[in-house]
Chains A and B, each alone.
Chain A
């Protein structure tokens, strides 16, 4: 591990400033695109939104999972997850353009299309704009509600160290995990699957949930390696923490491949007219190039690389894998969404780059703002003290106060 260079607080502000700069720099051309290529802008915005939703939602899932099961893998990243969850109200704001552009994005929201389509008429009970909006409000309401409760409990925990609060979080975690799985499934249908409204697949929600888990683990590794190079975390974050996260990344890479392959095999084998178009759109007319990239770089290569202990125990090595996987997560979301709009062939618009970068800059800025407000490691947590005791070289409480 390289020598610690800077203090965390200064670095956070630096990142925040740079992220905002990126957001503005990419945001200006994106706005131009919004005026002149509104349809493409909305599609790219949906892509950006679904990709950046990975982190707050994946964080919600992983942090609930961790409260439920414990384990040292989560202790060092818990605060990162909580900060990512706190960006959810902003994500609700980022959803507004999609809500406004629903008629341009989703075929079922176009009355003329529905009038000419018997299947869509049958689906109208679910796929109609008012109900779709109500569902979105409910989803965000539930997610923001859960993240609020967690944030409040955690703040209290830092202040008082009351062990009852850890218990309360654990009690919340089980039901919250169930609610996350269900709401995220329906959200994935509403926002992703219904782009091709005839198509359906019962595993689609799991595909999103697994993708969010993997993306969030990758972000945690990147952030962990960033923190490990800075005071005072260089003293706490150990190879074994990365090893655990690396193992989880490996598990999620496998899970992603398992779920994706299962869906493909079952639809290929059934060969039904209402199911195959989804794959025909994604494996023909040039789109197959992206499918192959995903098989090789989202599964085969990371699988082999993550088998190695050396990769997993080195912060820098693992962070490189994590950054690559984050990019591939983006490619995967692109492959899930974009072919719905361009069945005629592979199409990458400049807005597909600019808009996600702009949204990303904005998201990173608010994520880092959320990191600033509180200690980056949850010190009052009894479990954590257990996890760090054998590695820490200094009494623990100082970290909390140094940037509380």
Chain B
């Protein structure tokens, strides 16, 4: 019978073919997996392409120096902000980066709990991507404060000023949500790296590398007790991280929805933002995975089925986002409220209508290509759709923030928003920072989890499809 093992399977399918045969190319042994992945870090000479990519990214990142410097010297007035549009690039880019940062935890935690083995080859760099994206995101609210050195005023601590954060404000919830998220993601990533650090320590030839990896490996010797504790810790972290996948973007959506600006105040915002975040995150994972797979020849580990599965997640979350747009539109019309009506006409025919139509093309039309299997499995098409989504998710936040704010209740206070070079400089600078960190990560850390990939190799008990073992595992697995 041809019914394949389910792809996005919310439960175990006992007896279905072990995913190993499709999630790792045939012919790999435990050793070849280790060799191939650790080789990227240890023995291979740094390829010229890496240097070029790194140099460009680094140059872009250096844009942060003038952008932040001028901002701190002169204040947020150097941005294009004005009175109705007090939140613009800083919030757009914050939400954009935070959204991108969602795929990592989703892939690592939720797919782990759902026993989706295909996560194995993509979780490591998805987690790294999450961390770097959250780093970039975190910069914006800090800089938007104008006096970032006073950031600790956001935290509730006893102080002589007698002030306390306003706990009814979602912006304060953001502080907690984002810092928790960053902490747990970093821990999760690091804990997952420990066994691989040990592998690198054992294989490194130069002493400094041995030392550094050795310190990072925390004395890991691969003893049975180590593995036992490791597995427990990893599962617990996964459990902790799972609610965070939902909570962070829910709180971000409250930043808007708790206000009353038409275009912000919609009850659909929480689930629609969460779906949008996963949508954006998977698009970025694909954006990174496809070139990585191509240039480092990792097609054996990041197989077409991985990419196809990611394409399916992209399509599904894209449809949820489209449902969100549809609801906003329908209820805006159904409400009978003149403010809602003018919000819709402002989107469709206002000064920023081109952004809105571009958004529809990027986020609603382009992902429909993924209904076609040929597109889901073709690197070029997938990459193209992912790029559309990256742009589309930025446009979405632009439409939500700028289009809504520029024309609120009182026509006398309407004004248009125009980003300045410093807005752009900061934005491009964070993209540079993100890519720089990604390049460093590729060079110095195993981009794919070595020990987890080994479990997919045919020699391992799991890769062998040892039924009894797997069944026992499932029985005791996620509750």
Residue numbers of A with Cβ under 8 A of B are 68-73, 119-120, 122-123, 126, 163, 166-167, 174, 178, 181-182, 185, 189, 198, 200-206, 240, 243-244, 247-248, 258-259, 262-263, 265-267, 269-272, 274, 307, 309, 312, 381-383, 385-387, 389-390
Instruction: Report whether A387 and B13 are in contact in the complex, using a CB–CB cutoff of 8 Å.
Output: yes
Instruction: Report whether B471 and A200 are in contact in the complex, using a CB–CB cutoff of 8 Å.
Output: no
Beyond A266-B266, A386-B16, list 12 extra A-B contacts (CB 8 Å): A69-B10, A70-B9, A71-B12, A72-B13, A182-B326, A206-B271, A243-B479, A258-B250, A263-B267, A266-B270, A383-B3, A385-B15
7 A-B pairs within 8 Å (CB atoms) are namely: A69-B10, A71-B13, A72-B14, A73-B10, A182-B323, A258-B246, A383-B6
CA distance A385 to B474 in the complex (A): 18
Q: Does B196 contact A (CB under 8 A)?
A: no
- Look across to chain A and name the residue whose beta carbon is closest to the beta carbon of B8: A69
Instruction: Report whether A265 and B254 are in contact in the complex, using a CB–CB cutoff of 8 Å.
Output: yes
Contact residues in A for B268 (Cβ distance below 8 Å): 202-203, 206
What is the total number of residues of chain B having a CB less than 8 Å from a CB of chain A? 49
- Look across to chain B and name the residue whose beta carbon is closest to the beta carbon of A202: B268
- Look across to chain A and name the residue whose beta carbon is closest to the beta carbon of B169: A269
- Look across to chain A and name the residue whose beta carbon is closest to the beta carbon of B315: A174
Scoring A182, A203, A263, A387 by chain B CB atoms within 10 A of each residue's CB, the highest score goes to A203
In-complex Cβ contact of B259 among A206, A270, A389 (8 A) = A270
- Look across to chain A and name the residue whose beta carbon is closest to the beta carbon of B326: A182
Q: Which B249-271 residues sit within 8 Å CB-CB of chain A?
A: 250, 254, 257-260, 265-271
CA distance A203 to B271 in the complex (A): 9
Instruction: Report whether A390 and B14 are in contact in the complex, using a CB–CB cutoff of 8 Å.
Output: yes
Contact residues in A for B474 (Cβ distance below 8 Å): 240
CA distance A198 to B14 in the complex (A): 51
The 7 A-B residue pairs with the shortest CB-CB distance, nearest first, are A70-B6, A382-B1, A386-B15, A202-B268, A71-B11, A203-B267, A269-B258
- Look across to chain A and name the residue whose beta carbon is closest to the beta carbon of B11: A71
- Look across to chain B and name the residue whose beta carbon is closest to the beta carbon of A245: B11
Instruction: Report whether A270 and B265 are in contact in the complex, using a CB–CB cutoff of 8 Å.
Output: yes
Instruction: Report whether A70 and B7 are in contact in the complex, using a CB–CB cutoff of 8 Å.
Output: yes
- Look across to chain A and name the residue whose beta carbon is closest to the beta carbon of B478: A247
Please choose the segment from B211-219, B327-335, B357-365 that sits at the chain A interface, where 4 or more of its residues have CB less than 8 A away. Answer: B327-335
Contact residues in B for A167 (Cβ distance below 8 Å): 2
In-complex Cβ contact of B258 among A119, A200, A240, A266 (8 A) = A266
Contact residues in B for A71 (Cβ distance below 8 Å): 6, 9-13
Contact residues in B for A126 (Cβ distance below 8 Å): 333-334
CA distance A70 to B309 in the complex (A): 14
A287 to chain B, nearest CB (A): 20
Instruction: Report whether B246 and A266 are in contact in the complex, using a CB–CB cutoff of 8 Å.
Output: no
> Chain B 343-373, CB within 8 Å of chain A: the 1/0 string?
0000000000000000000000000000100
CA distance A119 to B324 in the complex (A): 24
Main SS of the interface on chain A?
helix
Residue numbers of B with Cβ under 8 A of A are 1-3, 5-16, 168, 246, 250, 254, 257-260, 265-271, 319, 323-324, 326-328, 331, 333-337, 371, 467, 471, 474-475, 478-479
A159 to chain B, nearest CB (A): 16
Instruction: Report whether B3 and A181 are in contact in the complex, using a CB–CB cutoff of 8 Å.
Output: no
CA distance A200 to B262 in the complex (A): 13
B43 to chain A, nearest CB (A): 41
In-complex Cβ contact of A267 among B267, B337, B478 (8 A) = B267
Instruction: Report whether A202 and B9 are in contact in the complex, using a CB–CB cutoff of 8 Å.
Output: no
Contact residues in B for A201 (Cβ distance below 8 Å): 267, 331
Instruction: Report whether B14 and A386 are in contact in the complex, using a CB–CB cutoff of 8 Å.
Output: yes
CA distance A13 to B14 in the complex (A): 34
Contact residues in A for B6 (Cβ distance below 8 Å): 69-71, 383
Contact residues in B for A243 (Cβ distance below 8 Å): 479
Contact residues in A for B7 (Cβ distance below 8 Å): 69-70
Contact residues in B for A266 (Cβ distance below 8 Å): 254, 257-258, 265-267, 269-270
Instruction: Report whether A385 and B337 are in contact in the complex, using a CB–CB cutoff of 8 Å.
Output: no
Scoring A205, A206, A312 by chain B CB atoms within 10 A of each residue's CB, the highest score goes to A206
Contact residues in A for B16 (Cβ distance below 8 Å): 70, 383, 386
Instruction: Report whether A312 and B479 are in contact in the complex, using a CB–CB cutoff of 8 Å.
Output: yes
Q: A69-B9, A390-B467 are in contact. Are A262 and B479 (CB under 8 A)?
A: no
Instruction: Report whether B1 and A258 are in contact in the complex, using a CB–CB cutoff of 8 Å.
Output: no
CA distance A166 to B6 in the complex (A): 12
Instruction: Report whether A259 and B271 are in contact in the complex, using a CB–CB cutoff of 8 Å.
Output: yes
Scoring B1, B246, B259, B371 by chain A CB atoms within 10 A of each residue's CB, the highest score goes to B1
Instruction: Report whether A382 and B2 are in contact in the complex, using a CB–CB cutoff of 8 Å.
Output: yes
- Look across to chain A and name the residue whose beta carbon is closest to the beta carbon of B10: A71
A197 to chain B, nearest CB (A): 9
CA distance A112 to B201 in the complex (A): 82
Q: A69-B6, A272-B265 are in contact. Are A383 and B259 (CB under 8 A)?
A: no
Contact residues in B for A312 (Cβ distance below 8 Å): 479
CA distance A376 to B11 in the complex (A): 21
Q: A200-B331, A383-B13 are in contact. Are A166 and B267 (CB under 8 A)?
A: no
CA distance A309 to B331 in the complex (A): 42
